[in-house]
Amino acid sequence: MSLIRVSRHNRSFFVSFTRRLHVASSDGTVSASSPSRLRDHYNFQPPPPPLSSTSEVPNPSNKKKPKPQYRPPSSLEGVKKVHSDLPFDFRFSYSESSSNVRPIGLREPKYSPFGPDRLDREWTGVCAPAVDPKVESVDGVEDPKLEEKRKKVREKIQGASLTEAERKFLVEICQRNKTKRQINLGRDGLTHNMLNDIYNHWKHAEAVRVKCLGVPTLDMKNVIFHLEDKTFGQVVSKHCGTLVLYRGRNYDPKKRPKIPLMLWKPHEPVYPRLIKTTIDGLSIEETKAMRKKGLAVPALTKLAKNGYYGSLVSMVRDAFLVSELVRIDCLGLEKKDYKKIGAKLRDLVPCILVTFDKEQVVIWRGKDYKPPEDEGEYPSLIHRKSSIESDAGLCSRED
DSSP 63: S
Domain stops at, among 246, 274, 296: 246
Query: Are residues 226 and 171 part of one domain?
Result: yes
Mean local confidence (pLDDT), 112-116: 89
Report residue 98's pLDDT band, with 50, 70 and 90 as the boundaries.
confident
326: domain range? 284-364
Per the domain annotation, does 8 fall within a domain?
A: no
Query: Are residues 302 and 231 part of one domain?
Result: no
Query: Are residues 221 and 171 part of one domain?
Result: yes
Mean local confidence (pLDDT), 341-370: 91
Per the domain annotation, does 184 fall within a domain?
A: yes
Cβ–Cβ < 8 Å for 309, 329: no
pLDDT for 181-221, tens place per residue? 999 999 999 999 999 999 999 999 999 999 999 999 999 99
Ranges 58-72, 210-224, 346-360: which has the least confidence? 58-72
pLDDT at residue 31 greater than cutoff 70: no
Query: Are residues 348 and 211 part of one domain?
Result: no
Per the domain annotation, does 332 fall within a domain?
A: yes
Domain stops at, among 246, 272, 294: 246
pLDDT at residue 18 greater than cutoff 70: no
Q: For the chain, list the strands marked E by DSSP.
A: 182-185, 207-212, 234-239, 242-246, 299-302, 325-329, 352-355, 360-364
Per the domain annotation, does 6 fall within a domain?
A: no
Query: Are residues 292 and 235 part of one domain?
Result: no
Task: Specify burial of residue 168 (Cβ count, 10 A radius: 0-12, 13-18, 19+).
Answer: middle
Task: Please count the structural domains in the chain.
Answer: 2
Identify the pLDDT of residue 225. Answer: 93
Query: Are residues 301 and 218 part of one domain?
Result: no
CATH assignment of the domain containing 346: 3.30.110.60
Per the domain annotation, does 380 fall within a domain?
A: no
pLDDT at residue 140 greater than cutoff 70: no
Say what the alpha-carbon torsion angle 391, 395, 398, 399 is, to the nearest 10 degrees. Answer: -90
Report residue 71's pLDDT band, with 50, 70 and 90 as the boundaries.
confident
Identify the pLDDT of residue 299. Answer: 94
Ranges 1-5, 22-26, 36-40, 383-387: which has the least confidence? 383-387
Query: Are residues 222 and 95 part of one domain?
Result: yes
Nearest to 186 by CA among 260, 298, 265: 265
Identify the pLDDT of residue 171. Answer: 93
pLDDT for 220-240, tens place per residue? 999 999 999 999 999 999 998
Task: Specify burial of residue 127 (Cβ count, 10 A radius: 0-12, 13-18, 19+).
Answer: buried
Query: Are residues 333 and 220 part of one domain?
Result: no
Report residue 32's pLDDT band, with 50, 70 and 90 as the boundaries.
very low
Identify the pLDDT of residue 133. Answer: 60
Cβ–Cβ < 8 Å for 241, 220: yes
Specify the pTM.
0.73
The better pLDDT of the pair 303, 390 is held by 303
Inter-axis angle of helices 312-320 and 335-348, to 10 degrees?
60
Domain stops at, among 246, 267, 300: 246
The better pLDDT of the pair 158, 63 is held by 158
Per the domain annotation, does 74 fall within a domain?
A: no
Query: Are residues 116 and 236 part of one domain?
Result: yes
Query: Are residues 241 and 310 part of one domain?
Result: no
Identify the pLDDT of residue 387. Answer: 41
pLDDT at residue 248 greater than cutoff 50: yes
Per-chain mean pLDDT for the chain: 80
Query: Are residues 318 and 225 part of one domain?
Result: no
Per the domain annotation, does 206 fall within a domain?
A: yes
Per the domain annotation, does 36 fall within a domain?
A: no
The better pLDDT of the pair 69, 206 is held by 206
pLDDT at residue 392 greater than cutoff 80: no
Residue % of the chain over a pLDDT of 70: 75
Nearest to 271 by CA among 343, 346, 214: 343
Query: Are residues 295 and 213 part of one domain?
Result: no
DSSP 189: -
Report which residue type is found at 162.
Answer: L
